[in-house]
Amino acid sequence: DPATVDPLGPENTLYLLVSGLLRLTGSDRRRVIRLARYLGAVRSRMGYVGRDRNRALYLETIRRALPGLPDRGAEKILFDFWTNHQASFLELFLSPGLSPEALESWVTFEGLEHLEQAIDAGQGALLSTMHMGDERLLHILLALKGFPIRALSADFADYGWAARRARLKAAGAFHPLETGHSHRWMFRSLAAGEAVFMALSGFGGPRGAWVDLMGREVLFSSAPARLALRTGAPLPTTACLRRPDGSCLGR
């Protein structure tokens, strides 16, 4: 609620500044990717300042997951992570203006026939993904391709108003977002032949499943699997991966 959040707080200020900067410089995506690489280099040195997520902690996690990895390899992974993070952040402000004609420069799809078959069968589809690459951009791009998409999203109530607006506006311009606690809409959407999009690595809840992921226990949501068993809807997994040129591979 904007009335309860400091309008000039650091988070709101950051989002407003970036939004204004991109409006001034235009939406040339190549320029944005160059900016993301610069910001990625800065963030790979700083991490999240003041949140106990410093550079050393990130590198320690990478080395634990990939024992024997040379220091240069760990540094490269950290740089790539932050570059993707910053590209995804900047794309928040570009994506509401996306058009179907721009898709080719943003993404290359592989395996769309699996989703097409699921939709054509009339059972809908449960699209499950991970928080990797740019999962938010993926359901926007699929909606632009003409697929009937409805996505489960956090409501970002604990974010500043500018951050919340940017995050919800990015996808809400293209397809419905569901941010409530009732999940009845999922059954209705599947019955209508729509694709329901959700992140496995979101909040797992009391019925989540603990998974060993690269040396750490991660609580995954079991909701997609339970819904698939109950409804008979297919459960294709998907991801939106960042390529070296900054564009995405959707598969």
| Adjacent-strand bridge partners of 199 | 129
Residues 6+ apart with CB under 8 A from 168: 153, 155, 156, 177, 179
For residue 77, is it left (φ>0), alpha (ψ between -120 and 50) or beta? alpha
Q: What is the mean pLDDT of the chain?
A: 85
Flag whether pLDDT at 3 surpasses 50. Answer: no
Higher-pLDDT residue of 226 and 202 is 226
Average pLDDT over residues 70-95: 90
The model's pLDDT over 14-40, given as tens digits with 9 standing for 90+, comes to 888 888 888 776 667 788 888 889 888
Cβ-based neighbours of 133, under 8 Å, separated by 6 or more: 84, 239, 240, 241, 242, 248
Distance CA 63, CA 67 (A): 5
The position carrying tokens 């604990």 is 158
Name which residue leads in pLDDT, 162 or 180. 162
Lookup: tokens for 118: 């699921």
Mean pLDDT of 100-109: 87
Kindly tell me if the per-residue pLDDT of 195 is higher than 90: yes
| Residue pLDDT, tens place only, 142-164 | 999 999 999 988 888 888 888 88
